Amino acid sequence: MIIDLTGIYMSDYESQTITDEASAINIDAGDGCDRALITCEQAAIRFRLDGGDPSTGHRLATGDGILLTDPASIKNFRAVRAADTDAILRISYGL
């Protein structure tokens, strides 16, 4: 999947391991940003953008990515691994 990042300035970056416990992304790293590019490595995840239980959410496969375009989605993002293997999220925050 190719995500168009034209005109988006990425100002911060983090890497996060996603386990079998629901995790939020580090909102401090993205403080003041209204965009977050999230790519998934090593294993698939399930996620939600409303702060709810991610085990019932959307699936993001290894190698796929999403672009969150509002602060509420960044703040409420929750993820959990989709199977037995921990996943790695690469997250870039921007304006």
pLDDT per residue as tens digits for the range 58-95? 999 999 999 998 888 999 999 999 999 999 999 998 87
Q: Specify whether the backbone of 77 is left (phi greater than 0), alpha (psi in -120 to 50) or beta.
A: beta
Q: Contact at 8 Å (CB) between 41 and 86?
A: no
What is the third-level CATH fold of 14-94?
Answer: Jelly Rolls (2.60.120)
Average pLDDT, the chain: 89
> Which sequence spans correspond to the domains of the chain?
14-94
Does the pLDDT value for residue 15 go beyond 60? Answer: yes
